[in-house]
Amino acid sequence: MKEIIIGTRTSNLALWQANFVKGELEKKYPNIKVTLKKTLTKGDKILDAPLSKIGGKGLFTKELEDAILKGEVDFAVHSLKDMPTALPKGLEIATITKRYDEGDAFVSDKYESFADLPKNAKVGTSSLRRKAQLLHIRKDLKILSLRGNVETRLRKMKDEDFDAVVLAAAGLKRLGFEDKIKEIFSKDIIIPAVGQGALAVETRENDAEIKEIVDFLNDRDTKIAATAERAFLTRVEGGCQVPVGVYGEVLGDKLNLTGVIASLDGEKLYKKSVTADVKNAEITGESLAEELLNMGGREILEELGLLK
């Protein structure tokens, strides 16, 4: 019996994701034994600082990628939004799963919707992308850094008396916290992160057998959208922690792509949508990024030291 070892982070959400892939493999290939190997990443270990201050790309992926390259695991399962656009030499994304829910969720024990938040409300999020877009709508909000896994953030909301927190809807739903969601933000307010809601299987480029085994997990539409989104992020030289959002939606042979670059205080925000043929997903992502940079996004990212 062939054995496959999946690399995963240790949080409940990461384990849910890895077990989801494990379960799909076991259904498809009853004769393959699948086990998980858990690894702590730098992003998991440093919890007392905002992600944007820790620096570096691959905060939640590097240790897993090292394990793949050393042959300790056959592949790793990641949240696609955590993955840098440039992968280590010898690795590739073999599979992108069907997007579950790309939205950002409003969670509060005090208020039923974002519109109900009082003046100067305390809102927790670890994301500069969310912070910038929320402040563009509501300059009065007090946006405070919120780190930790999903359960930790929900607990901190109570313990630290936040009026609300903003989390990825997919993570809440996957862990059974859908009842905590009061509202999913419309894309008029918050454009999601690159790949938000999708999972990625990262493996060795030269491992043809594993790539063939996991190929059935690929979702055509999500992969096309993610290709455009990641091309956009590559062009703006962004990692996971930049005030940038982009979302692609595939309708038949057409790709609708919306991108945003915003200043951290929300004062400046540049947003644009384009429609293109799905065959041109990568070029579409690059050209939309170029347009937003030229509209004023370049100055924002240069001031933040995020663009060379």
E runs forming strands in 65-115: 75-79, 91-96, 104-107
Residue 180 has pLDDT above 70, yes or no: yes
Residue 40 has pLDDT above 90, yes or no: no
Task: Report the CATH number at residue 176.
Answer: 3.40.190.10
pLDDT at 55: 52
Q: To 10 degrees, the CA torsion angle through 279, 280, 281, 284? A: -160
Examine residue 191 and state whether it is found in any structural domain, yes or no: no
Number of folded domains that form the chain: 3
Has 66 been annotated as catalytic?
no
User: Are both 52 and 69 inside the same structural domain?
Assistant: yes
Examine residue 189 and state whether it is found in any structural domain, yes or no: no
Residue 61 has pLDDT above 90, yes or no: no
User: Are both 25 and 79 inside the same structural domain?
Assistant: yes
User: Are both 110 and 172 inside the same structural domain?
Assistant: yes
User: Are both 14 and 87 inside the same structural domain?
Assistant: yes
User: Are both 3 and 124 inside the same structural domain?
Assistant: no
pLDDT tens per residue across span 97-118: 999 999 999 999 999 999 999 9
User: Are both 180 and 248 inside the same structural domain?
Assistant: no
Q: Helical H runs in the chain?
A: 12-28, 42-45, 51-54, 62-69, 128-137, 150-159, 169-174, 208-214, 220-235, 281-292, 298-303
Distance CA 233, CA 229 (A): 6
Q: Which domain holds residue 255?
A: 219-308
User: Are both 65 and 214 inside the same structural domain?
Assistant: yes
User: Are both 92 and 110 inside the same structural domain?
Assistant: no
Q: How confident is the model at residue 303 (pLDDT cuts 50, 70, 90)?
A: confident
Q: How confident is the model at residue 54 (pLDDT cuts 50, 70, 90)?
A: very low
What DSSP assignment string belongs to 142-188? EEEE--S-HHHHHHHHHHTT-SEEEEEHHHHHHTT-GGGEEEEPPTT
pLDDT tens per residue across span 152-176: 999 999 999 999 999 999 999 999 9
> Cβ–Cβ contacts within 10 Å for residue 24, how many?
15
> Cβ–Cβ contacts within 10 Å for residue 95, how many?
23
User: Are both 236 and 251 inside the same structural domain?
Assistant: yes
> What is the pLDDT averaged over residues 4-21?
96
Examine residue 50 and state whether it is found in any structural domain, yes or no: yes
Residue 209 has pLDDT above 80, yes or no: yes
The one catalytic residue in 82, 101, 104, 163 is 82
| Orientation of helix 281-292 relative to helix 220-235, angle to 10° | 40
pTM above 0.75, yes or no: yes
